[in-house]
Amino acid sequence: MGGLRLTVLGSGVAWANPGGVCSGYLVQADDATILIDCGTGTLGRLRTHVEPKWLDTVLISHMHADHFLDLVGLRYGMLYGGFAGDRPLRVMLPPGGCARLEQLGLALDNDAGFFSDVFALSEYAPDDAVAVGSVTITFRLVQHYISAYAVRLEAGRTLAYSGDSAPCDALVEHARGADTLLCEAALQHRGQDEADARKRGHLTAAEAGGIAQQAGVGRLLLTHAPLELDDLGRAAREARTTYRGPVERVVDGKTYDV
């Protein structure tokens, strides 16, 4: 295969789009299979492309439910559904993520080890680089309502993923020169976010385009956006007002060569 291949499992916002699911992205290299985010509904979509036992790593960008809640179903599948491989699946969480899953396990099953007894949980250090096969992964804290991280994956080609982010210099720098930027565009207009720019947590499509232009990326893929059935091209059209390169609003289930 060579390079990186991205399959969009789900690109919806916190409430799923019609026929869609929440955030989840399958990234594959010759020697690595990585799931980035595991939002509501993504597990079933994942299984149409690869069985969970073949995953090398699950990586969670931040601890909002629409980015990690299908870890619950994945956990049950590991125990009872034949998903388990020859070693516990590595699940990499942002700082503080292990405590959040412990609390969730207590709420769901009165079991603090609900997740940690099944997965090999760890928290990534934001300043470190992590190797999964030939893929090098780095992180950058970006502006959101809670601690959230942009992700950069490099293996011959480079994919940058915004996670959930407001406009910020950190996202521009982390995406700098990437072949493809997978960027959220959750807002249809600026008025849907906080009035105070310091308290914002999301991007409009035009702002995503501006990030891509400043970072000098090769291509912009818009995700984490509401599906507007009366104007399917709006997000990409707005991004083109601020970004001069190729841009597309991603389609759930579609695979993109990075």
Mean confidence (pLDDT) of the chain: 96
Residue 127 belongs to what domain range?
A: 5-257
Can you give the pTM of this predicted structure? 0.96
Residue 85, pLDDT score = 87
CATH of the domain at 152: 3.60.15.10
- Residue 157, token pair as written in the block: 């080609």
The 10s digit of each residue's pLDDT in 6-15 is 999 999 999 9
Other beta carbons less than 10 A from residue 193's beta carbon: 19
Question: Over the Cα atoms of the chain, what is R_g?
Answer: 17
Residue 127, pLDDT score = 86
Tell me the torsion sign for CA atoms 185, 186, 188, 193.
Answer: negative
Domain count for the chain = 1
The 10s digit of each residue's pLDDT in 26-49 is 999 999 999 999 999 999 999 999
Is residue 1 scored above 60 in pLDDT?
no
